[in-house]
Structure formats: structure tokens, C-alpha cells
A = this chain, B = another copy of it.
Amino acid sequence: MTRRTTIYDIAKELGITAASVSRALNNNPKISESTRKLVMETAAKMNYKQNKLALALRSGKSFNVGVIVPRIDSNFFASVIRGIEEELNEHQYNVIICQSHENEKREGESINTLLNAQVDGILMSVSNVNSDNSNLLKRIIEKNVPLIFFDRKKNIEGVSSVTINDFDVSYEATVHLIKQGCSRIAHFMGNQTLEIFENRFKGYKKALEDNGIAFNQDYVIQTKSVLEDGKRAVDELFSLESPPDAIFSSSDFTALGAIKQLKMKGIKVPKDFCVVGFGDEPFTKFMELSMTSVDQAPLEMGKMAAKVFLEQINNKDNIKIEKKVVLKSQLLIRDSSSRNIIL
């Protein structure tokens, strides 16, 4: 194994100092054209590669960005990360991945790890539990490390975020169900400590209200984003005196569980019952009876989060930037809620 070439090696080779080599490589104007050319050529010949670690130590910039997600093996987060990686890659940043597993403690550890690794910024989707890592988040801000939330955000003064218009699209989804002739619409509600789920619930509620449909608390079932909860919820709903005729679910997985359970009960979807999910998980379009869902624009969200980070990092004036980007999501109407009725 041969040692890496350093600027000192090049300097020795040319009989100049490392400082001059550094300047030449960085196109510093204080170097003559001839020397610069010589240095460039020699560097290429000796296969010189800048030592990022030395640069990082000197400049305090590691060119690494940390991303914290609840988990990576979910289509949504994986796609967001893909977007982040692609955007940042073009700007020579690397992406370091941490998983919080919806666990407050691990989330805290991840933050510490990333700060410790001297990342240049942290992009995160907060853990599911109503985590109280506020001290750590404060530390990120105090250290002047750009922090950007995506999807699951917290409202913190001065912190940018990228989300989708959960309220609007949920409103739209609910109206869509109403237009299909449904009037007893249930909602599978996610963790209300997270704004996204709160907004989905609010959008649903408002749509009912605006269309003269009374809100029924019995139709709102708290669910985690897993198949089983959807099944359980359907059972619960059908034990009511007047069961619903549609579900707007805040998750594709619970919606899928619901559809399976409805089938078990012999209830025809969409003829007798309409279902709308949320997330546009790949399986929604692969199902025999494809599922209406909401595209959360994960790729775009990742790219946008990365762009917001880049803006902040390039903001030399030290002006506080607080950007709240809200992406447009899209209701994708498929079989599970298409009665082909025009009301």
C-alpha cells in the first residue's frame, strides 16, 4: 500500500512550498500562471487527491449532512432519502443515515452522533412519539448547524421545514368520497402529536362540515400505520349501530387492512364501501383492486429539503432564514373509491 500523495509531495517534487501548491490548486490569483499549470500537471501525474479530513478539520466543514428518519425501509422515507442524496450529491455533500426507530432516545443519540461527526447540517423527520429532544434540537441551532424538518416537523422558531399540504389534500380526499355518494365517512387517525396527522384529521373534518355532514366521533379511530390496526378498526366500526360507508385513512397500510377485512365481511369495495389511503405506497397501485391514495411527493420533498439546506449553508450574510415549504400532493383516484358516479 502506497501512501496518498499530499501537497507536500508535490511541493518537494517541484521545489516549491506546500503553500504554493495549495494556492495553485485553489486557483488563488497570487500564483503565476506557469506555476499553476506545473502544479496542476504534477498533481494529476502523481494522482493527488485532496484529503477531505484535513480540509474538514481546518475549515470545520465536513461536507457531510446527516439525515434522521424513523426508519429507512419504508417506501416513503427511502424515496425522500433518494431525493436528498441526489440533490446533495451534485454539490459534493455526502449523506449520513440514522434511524430513530420512532424512539426518542435513539433519536437523541442520532443527533449527538451527527453533531459529533461534525455534519454540516441535519435533515430530519421527527420520531413518532411526542419526543422531547428539545434540548438537543436547541443545541443543533446553537451550534449554527442548519436544521431542516421534512414531513414530520416540529414548530421551532427559525427552523425551516418541507411538508405537503396535508390539510388540503385530506379535504380533497374527503370531498371526493362525498362525491362518490358516501355520507358516513370514517377516518383512521394517526398520532395527533404529529402535525401531519393532525392536519389530515382537520382537513377531513372541515370537508364534512362544509358539506353539511355531521361529524361523528365514533367514526374516528386512532390507528398506527400497520395492517392489523386497519382490520381491527373495521371490526370496531361495524359493531356500531350505524356503520360507515367509507374510510379516509391517514395511512395506506391501515387502509389495506380495512379493505382486506371488508372483503372478509363480504362488503363490496367500491360498490358498497369506498376507501382512500394515504402515502401512495407501491402496493396501492399493484393491488387487483387498486387503492385510491395520496402521493406525498417524497422525491420532491427530499430534493427540496436538500435545496433549503444548501440555501442556508450558502447564506453568508448570516441572515436568519426560516423557510416553510409546502409541496403540493396529489389525490390519486383509483378503483377503491371509483363508482363512476357523477353527482
Interface residues of A, Cβ cutoff 8 Å to B: 1-2, 49-54, 56-57, 60, 62-64, 71-75, 78-79, 81-82, 85-86, 89, 94-99, 113, 115-118, 142-144, 227, 256, 263, 281-283, 286-289
Q: How far is the CA of A288 from the CA of B283 in the complex (A)?
A: 11
Nearest B-chain residue to A109, judged by Cβ: B89
Please give me the 10 A-B residue pairs with the lowest Cβ-Cβ distance, nearest first: A283-B283, A73-B78, A78-B78, A53-B57, A73-B79, A73-B82, A53-B56, A283-B286, A288-B288, A1-B144
Copies in the complex: 2
Query: Which residues of B have CB within 8 Å of A2?
Result: 142
Q: List 7 A-B contacts (CB under 8 A).
A: A49-B115, A53-B53, A64-B64, A96-B96, A96-B97, A281-B282, A288-B289
Contact present for B72 and A75 (CB under 8 Å): no
Q: How far is the CA of A118 from the CA of B57 in the complex (A)?
A: 13
Query: Which residues of B have CB within 8 Å of A81?
Result: 72-73, 97
Q: How far is the CA of A50 from the CA of B57 in the complex (A)?
A: 12
Contact present for A98 and B85 (CB under 8 Å): yes
Nearest B-chain residue to A66, judged by Cβ: B94
- Which of B57, B95, B144 is the one whose CB lies under 8 Å from A54? B57
- Which of B52, B72, B281 is the one whose CB lies under 8 Å from A118? B52
Nearest B-chain residue to A75, judged by Cβ: B73
Known: A53-B53, A54-B57, A78-B72. A117 touches B94 (CB 8 A): yes
Q: How far is the CA of A117 from the CA of B263 in the complex (A)?
A: 53
Query: Which residues of B have CB within 8 Å of A85?
Result: 72, 97-99
Contact present for B143 and A96 (CB under 8 Å): no
Known: A1-B143, A117-B52. A82 touches B71 (CB 8 A): yes
Query: Which residues of B have CB within 8 Å of A97?
Result: 81, 85, 95-97
Identify 7 new A-B residue pairs, CB closer than 8 A, beyond the known A72-B81, A288-B288: A53-B118, A64-B64, A64-B96, A82-B99, A95-B96, A283-B287, A286-B287
